[in-house]
Amino acid sequence: MKPLGDIVISALIPKAYRFEFRLAVRHLFSGGLQTLLTISAVATGVIIVIFITSLIFGLQNMMSVLLTESIPHVTVRVEDPKPKPLEIPESPVSSRIEVSASRLKFIDNWEEVVAMLRGLPNVSGVAPVVSGQGFASKGANPVGVSVVGADPELLDVITPITKDLVNGRYKGLSSDEIVIDTELAKDLNVTVGERIRLTSSSNQADSFTIAGIYNRGQGRGSAYVTLRNAQSLFGLGTSVNIIYIKVYDIYAVDGLSNTIMALTKYEARPWTLDYSRNLTNMQMMGVSAYLISAFSLIASAFAIASVLIVSVLQKSAEIGILKSMGARQSQISTVFVFQGLGVAIIGSSVGAVVGTTITYLISLPTRPAVAGQEPLALFPVKIIPMYIGLAMLAAIITTVIAAVLPARRAAKLNPVDVMR
Amino acid sequence: MSSTTSTRVTEEHSSGDQPIVIETRGLEKTYFGKIDVPVLFGLDIEIRAREFVAIVGQSGSGKSTLLNILGALDVPTGGTVLINGVDIATLDDDGLARLRSDDVGFIFQAHYLLDDFTCLENALMPITIRKGEASDKERDMVLELLKRVGLGDQTNKHPDEMSGGQNQRCAIVRALANSPNIVLADEPTGNLDSRSGDEVFRLMREMNRDTGVAFVMITHDDRLAQAADRILLIEDGQIFEISKEAHRRRIASQV
C-alpha cells in the first residue's frame, strides 16, 4: 500500500520530475525557520505590492474622479477663427493682426451632431448646452456669473449637480427656475424659493425662482437654467453653442476628440488639455507605484536568494551523495528551483490574502462628511484584482529567478569536495 | 617500499574467468594548486565481476582518491579508466552521472542517508533518481534486500531513529538498489563498533556472493582485509597486490 503522498505525487507530477519534486517538498518541510523566512519574504513583497498599488491607484482614481466628475470630458464648440494679418494694400507683409471679436457661435445642426456623438465608442453621455456669461442680482449689486442652460436630466450625467445639492432640486427644473451655488447664494443673500434676476451678456434679462443650491467645494460655480431659457437669454434661437461629452475611459479622450474633429467642422477639446499638469501628476503616481513594487520584489528576491544559498551550503553533503548515486546537474538545480517555486507559490498566496485583507480593512475608515457631499474614505484605496494576480505572478517569477543562482551553485558542487 | 613481498596487480586470482568490470591503465592523479601534489602514479588495476577486493594503505596514501576515480566521481589527470568497457574520459557530466547510476554503487564511512526520508525511501533513492519513481517490482526487490539485512521492520523509520549499524546496512541496500556491476565502499565500517562493523561486512560479503556484484572496499581493519578475495596495497602512489600471508606478515611487522 503506497502512502497517500505518493499517490498524489503520482497523479500530479510527471514521472521525470518526481524525484526533484519529492526532494524539494522535503526540503521545504524540513527547512523549518528558513522556509518560513523565505515564505515571509515573498509574502511581504506581495503585501507591499498589493497595498502600494491599491493605495496609489486608489488616490489616483480619487483625484481623477474629483477632477473630472464635474467637468465635461470633451467639449465640442465652433472653432475660434484664426487671427489673420490685416490686409494693407501697399505693404507686402503686415505686422498688424486682426483679432475677431469674442461672440457666441452657434452649432446650428446640433441635433444631428448629438445623435452622431451618441453613437461613438467610449461616449457615455452627451448634452447640448448654451453657456455664457451674465450677471445675477437681487435688488442692487449685480454679481458676475457663468450661466449654463441644458436639459437637467442630460447635464446631471455629465457635470453632476444633484449629488452636490445642499438644498432643493435640479432635476425637473421648470422654465422659470434656476439652480445656483452656495457662493452666489451667499453673495446675493438668497435661499431656495426666492427670486433673482439674471442679465445675460447679450443684455437679455429674466427673473428666476431658486429651485436648488449646490456646493461642489471648488470655488464659484455656474448658475443652471433650462436650455430654452438660456437660448432666449443669449439670443441663440433654437441653437446651442457647446456640446458636452462624458466618456467611460477618461484617459482615452484624445482619440475621441480627433475622431469628432474629423467627422464634424467643430473643435473638440479633451479635458486633458486644460488639466495637463494634473494628468502628469497622476501618471507619475502610477509610475511611482510600479517602481515601489519593483523595488520591494527585488528586495525580497535578494532575501530569498541568500536563504537558498545557505540552504545549498547546508545540503552540500546531501547533494554530493545524490550525485554519487547518479543525479545529474540539471536534476540538482531543478530541486532548488522547485524549492523556490514552492516558496513563491505559498508566499505569494499568503501575501495575496493578507495584503488584500489589510488593504480592505484600511479602506473602511472615512473622513467626516462635508455638508452636501458623500463621506470620503480616509485612505482611498482601490483593490484591483488584476494587480493582485500580477503581484503574485511577479513574485513567483522573481523568486524562481532568485532561486536559479543557488540552484546552479548546487548543481556544480563537486561531490568529492563536499563529502570529505 | 617495505620489505613485504609485493607484485603489480595481476590477473592471477580466483575470478580470472569473470568479465572485467573496472580497468585502469597508467592511472595518475595529481592535485593541482599553489603546490602540485601528485597522489597516484600510473596504476594498472583490473576488477572483475564477483570479486571482493580490499584496498589497504596508510591514511593519505590515495585510497579514497582511487575509489572516487574508480566510481567516476573524480577524473584522473593521466591514464585511462574503463568502467564496463567505457572510457570515462569520453563522457560529459551527464554521461558520468548515468554511468554512476547504472553501474556503480557507493558506500561511505558516514552513511549519508537523507534525513528527510525513511529507510525504504533512502534505499529506493537511486531508482527514484534514475526513473522518477520505483516500480512495484523494484520496490519489492528493495524491500526484500532490506529484510535480508535485518531492516524489514525498520523500513518506515528515519535515519535519526536507527542505529549507526542499521543506517549503514540501509546504505548497503541503497548501493545495490540499481543492480550495479560494482560497489565501492570507502571504510564502510569505520564509524561502527566492531560488532556492528563485522555485521555490515558479513552482509556485504553475503551480497557479493549472492548477487555477483563486485565489491571494492577500503579498510583499515586488517581482519576484514584478510576476509576479502584479494588485497591491494597502496603505498607511495603505487598499487600492489599482496597475498594474505604477506599482509599478515606486514601487520605483524608493524605491531
Query: Is residue B4 included in any domain, yes or no?
Result: no
Query: Is residue B11 included in any domain, yes or no?
Result: no
pLDDT at B7 over 50: no
| Series of mean pLDDT values for 10-residue runs along chain A (420 residues) | 70 84 88 88 90 87 81 88 62 56 72 91 92 89 91 91 90 92 91 92 90 85 92 90 92 90 90 84 85 87 84 85 90 90 92 93 77 69 86 87 86 77
| Pairwise CB contact (< 8 Å): B178 & A318 | no
Task: Work out the angle between the directed axes of helices A329-363 and A385-412 (0-180°, nearest 10).
Answer: 150
- Reported as a single tens digit per residue, the pLDDT across A290-311 is 898 888 888 888 888 888 888 8
| Pairwise CB contact (< 8 Å): A325 & B73 | no
Residues of B in contact with A10 (CB under 8 A): 133
Torsions phi, psi of B28, nearest 5? -125, 150
For A416, the closest of B68, B129, B132 (CB atoms) is: B68
Reported as a pLDDT band with limits 50, 70 and 90, residue B12 is very low
- Reported as a single tens digit per residue, the pLDDT across B98-135 is 999 999 999 888 888 998 899 999 999 999 999 888 88
Query: Is residue B185 included in any domain, yes or no?
Result: yes
CA distance B199 to chain A (A): 23
| Pairwise CB contact (< 8 Å): B112 & A317 | yes
pLDDT at A307: 83
Reported as a pLDDT band with limits 50, 70 and 90, residue B15 is low
CA distance A28 to chain B (A): 10
Residues of B in contact with A327 (CB under 8 A): 97, 129
Query: Is residue B14 included in any domain, yes or no?
Result: no
**Residue of chain B whose alpha carbon sits nearest to that of A19:** B132
Torsions phi, psi of A376, nearest 5? -100, 145
| Whether B82 contacts B23, CB under 8 Å | yes
- Reported as a single tens digit per residue, the pLDDT across B55-97 is 998 888 888 899 999 988 888 999 999 998 889 989 998 999 9
Which of A8, A17, A321 best tests the B interface by mutation, with the highest count of B CBs <10 A? Answer: A321
- Sorted by sequence, the CB contacts under 8 Å of residue A361 that are 6+ apart come out as none
CATH of the domain at B50: 3.40.50.300
pLDDT at B2: 38
- Sorted by sequence, the CB contacts under 8 Å of residue A311 that are 6+ apart come out as A27, A31, A34, A336, A339, A406
How would you label B97-110 residue by residue, b for 16+ Cβ within 10 Å and e otherwise? bbbbbbbbbbbbbb
Count Cβ atoms below 10 Å from residue A393 Cβ, excluding itself. 12
CA distance A417 to chain B (A): 10
Query: Is residue B8 included in any domain, yes or no?
Result: no
Residue B32's Cβ-side half-sphere holds a number of Cα atoms within 13 Å equal to 5
Q: Which domain holds residue B229?
A: 20-254
| Pairwise CB contact (< 8 Å): B114 & A26 | yes
CA distance B249 to chain A (A): 31
The alpha-helical segments, DSSP class H, found in A126-275 are: 152-158, 182-188, 227-233, 253-263, 271-274
- Reported as a single tens digit per residue, the pLDDT across A336-366 is 889 888 989 999 999 999 999 999 998 887 7
Can you spell out the DSSP letters for B158-173? -GGGS-HHHHHHHHHH
Query: Is residue B233 included in any domain, yes or no?
Result: yes
For chain B, the domain total comes to 1
